[in-house]
Chains A and B, each alone.
Chain A
Amino acid sequence: MLRSLFLSLSLVLFSLHAAAQDWIKTGTNLGVEKIRIAVPDFKATSQDPRNTELLKTFNDTLWSDLDNAGIFDMVSKSFYPLTQIGAPTDVKFETWSAPPPNAAMLVFGNLAASGNNMTVQGWLYDVKNTASPQILGKQYSDVATTQAARVIAHKFADEIIFRLGAGINGIAETQIFYVSSRNGHKEIWGMDYDGANQHPITTLGSIALSPHVSPDGSRLAFSAFTGSGWEIRMFSFDLNRLVSFPRFAGTNLSPAWSPDGTKLAFSSSRSGDPEIYVIDQSGANPHRITNSKGPDVSPTWNRKTGSQIAWVSGRSGLPQVYVMGSDGTNVQQLTDQGYAVSPAWSPNGTIVAFSWMRHYGPGAPGAQDIYIMDIVSKQWVQLTHDGGRNDFPSWSPDGRHIVFQSNRSGSLQIWTMLANGENQKQITNSGSNSEPDWSWK
């Protein structure tokens, strides 16, 4: 009697313990291909005539955000069952998880405009798990405008990407800053990551180059040609105007933010030969960290640790990419041939993207392409191949996308691609657009 009591007690305790902590067993290379996701159009659940237009913007934005994310294999809409779904009760799992759709995940929901507002409900379902399929269920409401519909779609897409992309934030709400000359002068412009909402930021009436936004998104540093030469300038988004930043002698270019937002690195030729300087974000304490003949320009910080800087140096002849500690010690050379410029450090700290003319010189093909290089192993991969000149790569905060400039379409435009070279698409069209910089969040 006592024995059986003890036995049952221990069993109870064991099962409690097991419930408190689960085990997962898994291993490497088990086919981590892209997730097959089906995203049928959201359904209108009110009679408002504005729904059609709102839904069109919403559906298109949601689809392209998920498509752009780089982790999904979008199931083509021609495979979807014909009945439209808008709520969990409408979902028949087998029609989605079996061929032809053969989806692993399903996104669906509804949108209803009424009065000034609209409400959007969205769900993310794991259709292969009929017991407990819901991964996300969200409701958003905002004013009934297409811009708000776009923003809600971006938010929902980011939620989905965050869940299914193992904790990395989606980029649907990020911005790209760039230089555009479509108004006659080279000014700094900003746009959504997919090219929507292009708008000017500076109106200096001069030449503004190399925009770099701060990690917290509150300020934008850039270099501008003022009457007296090239200066580092600072624009504040909080105040919506330029704020003061110290002026130095010589040509001062390409400011770059440290990942904690406390320092800037830039190149200055105040001592005659362009060298890399580091300065506090307030403009105090400038100090020089390179000291060699030949230009030293285009610094970029290690985005994970902030303890290293990659930059371009002409100390051995043609421009090559180097890496050093952020105090100037421990200089290492990364490239050793051709003409390498514009390094950009990846958010996870292991890779540098840059623009390279590997075969440079008379008689050489002269193609300038974006390459990425693993810093430790120095193995590199070529990402663009389509000819033209590709330059100024910048990483998205999820580390899966790169934005760059390319003239392959005939004029200089901004392009984005996945960080393995796939899915290259042009996102600007008018005027001449260059030197893109992806925001940090």
Chain B
Amino acid sequence: MPTGEIFFEHERWGHNLALSAALHLGVTLAIIGYAYIAYSGHGANWGAGGGGSAMEVSITSTIPLPANPVQTQSVLATESKGLSKSEPKTAVQEPEAIPIPEKNAKKKPPKQPTETLRKPQPEPQQQASNVAPFGEGGPASGPYAMFNNGAAKGGFSFTGGGGDFGTRFAWYVRGVNQKVSENWMKYEVDPRITNANRVYLTFDIDRSGRPSHVQIEQSSGVPSLDISAMRAVQRIDTFGPLPPEYPGSKVSVEFWFDYKK
């Protein structure tokens, strides 16, 4: 009968285990020891070391850094003799469209009838900006208009369903328009901008005529233009009291600014 012998051999693992453990321990100690030896020295010198040689900077001219921004000529530093030179008239001023109390008077229709009215008026009167003001200055409601450069086009639209303030009190709207335009200091806009989208502002006028809640409804995309528009309204103390026949406690205004240099 074949017999197999199962040899049950005691593995002499005890010995191997001890050897393995010892080796593991050794490696661990070696790692710890290396870390200790290699880095402890640096820790002590961290930042305290030899006369501030913490950083060494080397100028590398090979790295393509962006160039310094060129200093553009500031408006304030100009040598120009102020506003005593004529500039070519760039655009026709759109005349006041108030007296058309029609429904939704869009921009186009008011242009027609009022243009004929405007013919006898001298043109230079509108371009108050860069012309020597003697006798030809713009609306004499203030010299402030003379500091505003450039022509701008605008549109005049009556709100369809927002009440009839514009038709009943056209003279008040005209006053608001004039006052804001006078107080708009166009030199506050970044001088590099020549053309910009329209910025729409909204604000309220209370019964005493004071503007409040000035907000940008639609930005022009040019921050300096938006800010100069807001400042124009914020400069104003009052537009004059609201007409006594108007029953509301306030009027809301949407005002747009067209900037063109």
Q: Which residues of A contact B (CB under 8 A)?
A: 18-35, 70-71, 97, 102, 104-105, 126, 128-129, 131-132, 135, 162-168, 346, 348, 350-351, 372-374, 376-383, 385, 399-400, 418-423
Residues of A with C-beta under 8 A to B28: none
B255 → chain A closest CB, angstroms? 6
Residue contact B168 to A162, C-beta cutoff 8 Å: no
A321 → chain B closest CB, angstroms? 14
Flag whether B75 is at the interface (Cβ < 8 A).
Answer: yes
Residue contact B175 to A165, C-beta cutoff 8 Å: yes
A166 → chain B closest CB, angstroms? 3
Q: Which of B13-21, B42-50, B65-73, B240-248 contacts A (4 or more CB under 8 A)?
A: B240-248
Q: Which of B4-12, B30-38, B117-125 contacts A (4 or more CB under 8 A)?
A: B117-125
Residue contact B187 to A22, C-beta cutoff 8 Å: no
> Which residue from A21, A35, A166, A383 sits with its C-beta under 8 Å from B248?
A21
From 155 to 186 in chain B, residues with beta carbon under 8 angstroms from any chain A beta carbon are 155-159, 161-168, 170-171, 173-181, 184-185
10 contacts between A and B (CB under 8 A): A21-B248, A22-B166, A24-B173, A28-B256, A31-B118, A32-B139, A35-B171, A104-B171, A131-B101, A381-B132
Residues of B with C-beta under 8 A to A22: 162-166, 246, 248, 251-252
With A166-B175, A167-B209 as known contacts, state yes or no: A135 contacts B243, CB within 8 Å: yes
Residue contact B156 to A419, C-beta cutoff 8 Å: no
Flag whether B197 is at the interface (Cβ < 8 A).
Answer: no
Alpha-carbon distance A70/B203, docked complex (angstroms): 28
B73 → chain A closest CB, angstroms? 14
Alpha-carbon distance A376/B235, docked complex (angstroms): 14
Flag whether B135 is at the interface (Cβ < 8 A).
Answer: yes
Closest to A73 in B: B121
Flag whether B230 is at the interface (Cβ < 8 A).
Answer: no
With A23-B162, A28-B181, A30-B154 as known contacts, state yes or no: A381 contacts B139, CB within 8 Å: no
Flag whether B141 is at the interface (Cβ < 8 A).
Answer: yes
> Which residue from B146, B185, B255 sits with its C-beta under 8 Å from A27?
B255
Residue contact B133 to A29, C-beta cutoff 8 Å: no
A167 → chain B closest CB, angstroms? 3
With A128-B99, A165-B175, A377-B147 as known contacts, state yes or no: A21 contacts B252, CB within 8 Å: yes
Residue contact B187 to A379, C-beta cutoff 8 Å: yes
> Which residue from A24, A105, A128, A380 sits with its C-beta under 8 Å from B82?
A380
Residue contact A165 to B133, C-beta cutoff 8 Å: no
Residue contact A29 to B146, C-beta cutoff 8 Å: no
**Main secondary structure on B side of the interface with A:** loop
How many residues of chain B are within 8 Å of chain A by beta carbon?
88
Residues of B with C-beta under 8 A to A385: 134
4 shortest interchain CB distances as A-B pairs: A167-B240, A22-B163, A420-B137, A166-B175
Residues of B with C-beta under 8 A to A34: 139-141
Closest to A29 in B: B152
Residue contact A419 to B140, C-beta cutoff 8 Å: yes
Residue contact B76 to A377, C-beta cutoff 8 Å: yes
Flag whether B238 is at the interface (Cβ < 8 A).
Answer: yes
A396 → chain B closest CB, angstroms? 11
With A23-B159, A33-B126, A166-B178 as known contacts, state yes or no: A28 contacts B184, CB within 8 Å: yes
B133 → chain A closest CB, angstroms? 5
Alpha-carbon distance A382/B76, docked complex (angstroms): 18
Given contacts A21-B163, A33-B125, 13 further A-B contacts (CB under 8 A): A18-B162, A21-B251, A22-B252, A24-B165, A25-B156, A27-B155, A29-B181, A30-B96, A31-B93, A104-B99, A129-B168, A135-B243, A380-B83
Residue contact A351 to B248, C-beta cutoff 8 Å: no
Closest to B121 in A: A33
Residue contact B251 to A27, C-beta cutoff 8 Å: no
Residue contact B99 to A24, C-beta cutoff 8 Å: no
Residue contact A27 to B147, C-beta cutoff 8 Å: no
Residue contact B156 to A382, C-beta cutoff 8 Å: no
